[in-house]
Amino acid sequence: MPTYTISRLARQFGLSRSTLLYYDRIGLLPPSGRSAAGYRYYTEADAERLEAICTYRQAGISLKEIDQVLATRQSPQITVLKERLKAISQEILDLRGQQRLISGLLKTATRDEVLRPVDKSLWVEMLRQAGMDEEGMRRWHMAFEQRAPEAHHEFLLSLGISEKEAIQIRMLSSSMERNQSMMEYFYQVYERLPRQGPGDEASTLKALNCIGSLPASPMILDVGCGTGAQTLTLARHLGGTIVAVDNHQPFLDRLAGDAGEQSLRARIEPRLASMFELPFEPGSFDLIWAEGSIYFMGFENGLRTLRFFLREKGALVASEVSWLKSDPPENVKTFWEAEYPAITTIDENLRKSEAAGFTVIDHFTLPAESWWADFYRPQEARLDELIDRYAGNADAINVFDQCRREIELFRNYSDYYGYVFYVLRQAG
């Protein structure tokens, strides 16, 4: 029987992969099965179902209503059409409100003689000036996601944010409660690990030694610090103050405790904040450290964002997952296309670094053992505990299975990808 990969099926219908992942998540179009490597596959019957879904979506019928129609295997019922008519009437009222909002936003955006490109920061600024608080923005995204998930995704990407963040925003918009519980399972895996990503002290010190001169008492930002293994290393070998930022308080609590035990607490300032909304003035830091964390911002977007906070001639050190070979096997490529579509080669990341206004001082690949010693081996032991504890909890087991698949992929294909340290200095 002919089958489709998720990428092939998405291309055939002109949809994004994330749209099909979303349809799977809500039960509208689950795949017929998975390959031996754990990847989704779809049959001709699935393709026919997707064709029907696309037809109904073009008619303006909601995903929930489509699911009901397909479940009965009948043409749309009169009651569905009546409900749709009522919904259209309400949407007209909502659209009038949206029209007033967009009109106000355009006035804000065009106040200057030269129109700035609308990126994430300007969009948030415009919404705030239009009177929206955080809850209002969340409701706005929820409405957008419910009515037009594909358009919502494309809009988020148009703001210059990474696809990973766009997917996170959409997950939060579509199912806040379920997404929070899923994140709790991830945190239960990672909170007790020595590190929350690949790395080791020797590699941190190697990158630090590549930088060259720094002020005697530098201001340092460690962004996405996790529990702070690298933060403590930097504090032991540098003077000055380290502001360690993460969005998960238990990580910061553990860092504060470890820093106290090592008599480093006075020089490390844990700060609860999102790396997407850093609460600092321009030019605040001599050194910004992003070990395994720039991934969440997208490498290119992260470089441009973090450069804003560097002092003149300041240094930025980031480790980023990168292709080590240009011809990865299809299952490896498929995994990373879903996990981190922005993954690229070392040469391309070097080019992006220079385009973002940096001079490349050095770069090097972490040894494979950096993935195992403090990250994957402890993670495997932790997963064994959690799988027993959450037996029967499908959401939890799904999270833990994802972690295991990632480990197995690296075990078999570590020659094709790895973490690379990029040591950069702001160009003159």
For residues 231 and 339, state if they share a domain.
yes
For residues 383 and 252, state if they share a domain.
yes
Q: Quick one: pLDDT at residue 14?
A: 80
Q: Is residue 129 part of a domain?
A: yes
323 pLDDT higher than 90: yes
For residues 148 and 225, state if they share a domain.
no
**CATH number, residue 63:** 1.10.1660.10
For residues 47 and 130, state if they share a domain.
no
Written as one letter, the residue type at 117 is: P
Instruction: Say which residue the tokens 């967009």 belong to.
Output: 102
Instruction: Say which residue the tokens 């596959």 belong to.
Output: 41
Q: Return the higher-pLDDT residue of 118 and 193.
A: 193
State CA 289 to chain mean position distance. 18
Task: Categorize the per-residue pLDDT at 402 as very low, low, confident or very high, splitting at 50, 70 and 90.
Answer: confident
* Overall domain count for the chain: 3
**CATH number, residue 319:** 3.40.50.150
Task: Categorize the per-residue pLDDT at 384 as very low, low, confident or very high, splitting at 50, 70 and 90.
Answer: very high
For residues 349 and 390, state if they share a domain.
yes
Q: Is residue 39 part of a domain?
A: yes
Span 23-40, average pLDDT = 86
For residues 315 and 370, state if they share a domain.
yes
For residues 62 and 334, what is the distance between their CA atoms, to the nearest angstrom? 30
Helix axes 44-58 and 17-25, enclosed angle (nearest 10) = 100
Nearest alpha-carbon partner for 291 in 272, 324, 316: 316
75 pLDDT higher than 80: no
For residues 344 and 322, what is the distance between their CA atoms, to the nearest angstrom? 6
CB atoms within 10 A of CB 183: 15
Helix axes 17-25 and 163-174, enclosed angle (nearest 10) = 30
3-state class (DSSP) for residue 290 = strand
Q: Give the 3-state DSSP-derived string for 151-193, with helices as H, strands as E and coil as C.
A: HHHHHHHHCCCCHHHHHHHHHHHHCHHHHHHHHHHHHHHHCCC
Span 317-341, average pLDDT = 90
For residues 19 and 164, state if they share a domain.
no
DSSP 345: B
As a whole number, the mean pLDDT across the chain is 83
Task: Categorize the per-residue pLDDT at 90 as very low, low, confident or very high, splitting at 50, 70 and 90.
Answer: low
For residue range 174-195, what is the model confidence (pLDDT) as tens digits?
A: 543 345 566 788 888 988 899 9
Span 337-349, average pLDDT = 86
pLDDT > 70 in the chain, percent: 79
Span 271-297, average pLDDT = 89
113 pLDDT higher than 50: no
For residues 167 and 297, state if they share a domain.
no
Task: Categorize the per-residue pLDDT at 85 as very low, low, confident or very high, splitting at 50, 70 and 90.
Answer: very low
CB atoms within 10 A of CB 13: 13
Span 339-361, average pLDDT = 91
For residues 250 and 390, state if they share a domain.
yes
* Per-residue tokens: 218: 């530098």
Q: Quick one: pLDDT at residue 43?
A: 93
For residue range 197-251, what is the model confidence (pLDDT) as tens digits?
A: 999 999 999 999 999 989 999 999 999 999 999 999 999 999 999 999 998 889 9
Q: Quick one: pLDDT at residue 366?
A: 96
3-state class (DSSP) for residue 318 = strand
Range of the domain at 230: 201-426
Q: Is residue 352 part of a domain?
A: yes
